[in-house]
A and B are shown apart, each in its own frame.
Chain A
Amino acid sequence: MRRLGARTGSKIVDQIFVAVLLGAAIVFLAIILGLAASLVKGSLPSLRTFGFAFLWTSSWNPVTSIFGALPLIYGTVISSLIATVLAGVFGIFAAVFLSDFAPAFLARPLSFMIELLAAVPSVVFGLWGLFVLAPAMRNTIDPALQRTLGFLPIFSGPSYGVGLLTAGVILALMIIPTVTAISRDVLTTIPADQREASMSLGATKWETMMKVVVPAARAGIFGAIILALGRALGETIATTMVIGNRPEIAVSLFAPSYTLASVIANEFTEATSDIYLSALIELGLLLLIVSVVVNALARILMWSVFRGARSAR
């Protein structure tokens, strides 16, 4: 009798436990849906006035109240893409070094330092970008790129120091800790057996890393990159300080640009007319949509890479 009673008791506890978990999950779902709903509601006047033209027109003129978001979408996506590529390459290299190559006395302090980067407030990155990185880009890095890769249109034209490329570099610095920390953790979970098996077949350490360990960990590494991409898309203050804040699409990565989040931060406090405010809220909605779309694309890419790998096996 007693044992039976104890069992029903634990069953009830289990049910309560599941209900709490479900509740927690539903709260988050409700918050996201509520957020989306209030953004849609707030952007209705702008949606009615500009319709879908908002997505592909390029004028952002608060004086005449004519708004189009294309250059802002472009600036957001491209700056985040630059950041993701840079942070992906350097972040994964750093993670590989930390997990397999660094001696223990070096690995700990190095990991700590990289993770410390994540604790630096973004406004500090922004100020550093404006006063240190931007002049360096204009005086050294951009001219060097122009000399070597100037035949590519993306490295042509005058450099102002602030612009898409500078914003991408700053964002890369900000998201590297995410990429490195998660990738390192994933790499260290790959069993030593696999490394030893590969080495015993005569593979070098480099081959073992690149052909066995990193591929085995790629799902986790990809997850890290997607997480980092999310942060880059929504970053506001650091981007604003170094991107040049010009709503214009230029081929050159040296040119000033603008992002969705930056426009909202720059103009929200002083937007008094209803249509202006509504257009800014619609930018918020777009940022949400862009994040979802970019995430989905990244997942599709990952899925296709995996399928390719499987068929090759």
Chain B
Amino acid sequence: MLKRAVFTALALLIAGCSSGSGGTTLTGAGSSFDYPFFSKAFDTYSSQHPDVTVNYQSIGSGGGIQQFIQKTIDFGASDVPMNGDELTRAGQPVIQMPVALGGVVLSYNVNGVPSGLRLDGDAIAGIYLGRIKSWNDPRLKALNPGVNLPNTAIVVVHRSEASGTSYIFTDYLSSVSTEWKTKVGKGKAVSWPASGSVGGKGNEGVAGLIRATPGAIGYVELAYALENNMATAAIKNSSGAWVACSPNTVQAAAASKPNVTNTDFSIVDRPGARSYPISGYSWVMVYTKPADPKRGRMIQNVLQWLDGNQAQQIAASLHYVALPVNVQASAQRALQSMNL
């Protein structure tokens, strides 16, 4: 009886393998920010193209770049494009294109201010540098007339692990504050200067700390904030407009700079009446001339689809921000330059 069951299971397994071997499995690895989007998008792609399966491993951007350089995967994904040093190590031309867009919001826990807090670049930098220590600081009061800000100490919360969200946020702080730029700089992990600042692991860790600590302020991904209905601050952008973070305002900021490249990709602090100032892209990397042209063509097809309307709508349904049409177009052009 048992024998027969084992035999049947084996037979099923073999049958499963042989039917699967008719298709091709492409592999990618990297950014965990992209993972929910990719897993749904590639699933949809496979249902439309049964001969292609895309296996994406969410191992972190750094790991994705390493694997891509070692050519163990077909494409890599990273929250920050590969830099010159990494491109040299890759040893052959690489195409990098934006695939996903996300905003970073400031959330807070201030007694008596359930919503509607307003901040500008100077105030955010002042808070994160540890210069503004209390919620009733005159600089914050000036930005929030009519709001009764309490005399509560500010507790600065940041991400404890290296992350693309921290990169976008410190990129913003570096562009609005020269002091931040020289003292701290931008990176996925930085040395946070404000004394008594605390690190939470992941969006959920930061959100948990904000919720549990009166006086706390911290940054989380827009998608996470939307799913959890968190209070977020409106931010004054470089055109002097007050902008709340939403998929529309992030898209407006991105659309104002369609030709992003791997050396000029920052979209923080963009001008415009509707441009939310803290946002950034996540990227996909492929070799311009993959070793196997047939496989290369499949990758090209998948990525063209990924930066097209249908996939970007999937992204929007998951609270990512869809790439603006002009950015989609420039990514498509970059993919056309693949040498197959």
Contact = CB atoms under 8 A, between A and B. Distances in A.
A61 interface: yes
Interface string B205-222: 100110011000000000
Contacts of A272: 62, 65-66, 86
A138 B201 contact: no
B208 A271 contact: no
B201 A241 contact: yes
Contacts of A60: 191
B212 A135 contact: yes
A138 B212 contact: yes
Interface of A: 59-64, 130-131, 134-135, 138, 158, 160-162, 240-241, 244-248, 255-256, 262, 265-267, 269-273
B62 A256 contact: no
**Interface on chain B toward A: helix, strand, loop, or mixed SS?**
loop
17 contacts: A59-B191, A61-B190, A62-B187, A62-B190, A130-B205, A131-B212, A158-B153, A240-B160, A244-B198, A245-B198, A262-B160, A266-B189, A269-B59, A270-B161, A270-B188, A272-B66, A272-B86
B126 interface: no
Given A62-B162, A241-B201, A271 B62 contact: yes
Given A63-B185, A162-B209, A256 B199 contact: yes
Contacts of A64: 185, 191
Interface of B: 59-63, 65-66, 85-86, 153, 155, 160-163, 184-192, 195-201, 205, 208-209, 212-213
Nearest to A277: B62
B196 A158 contact: yes
A272 B155 CA distance: 30
Contacts of A130: 200, 205, 208-209, 212
A142 B196 CA distance: 16
Contact of A63 (B155, B186, B212, B213): B186
A62 B185 CA distance: 10
Contacts of B160: 240, 245, 262, 266
Contacts of A61: 190-191
A262 B205 CA distance: 14
Contacts of B161: 265-267, 269-270
B59 A63 contact: no
A160 B158 CA distance: 14
Contacts of B198: 160, 162, 244-246, 256
B213 A138 contact: yes
Contacts of B209: 130, 134, 161-162
Contacts of B199: 244-246, 256, 266
B196 to A, nearest CB: 7
The 4 closest A-B pairs by CB, nearest first: A245-B199, A269-B60, A270-B162, A245-B160
Contacts of B61: 269-270
Contacts of B212: 130-131, 134-135, 138, 161
A274 to B, nearest CB: 10
Contacts of A131: 208, 212
Nearest to B82: A272
Contacts of B192: 246
A246 B192 CA distance: 8
B62 A63 contact: no
A266 B196 contact: no
A277 to B, nearest CB: 9
B62 to A, nearest CB: 4
A59 B191 CA distance: 8
A268 B200 CA distance: 16
A156 to B, nearest CB: 13
A245 B65 CA distance: 26
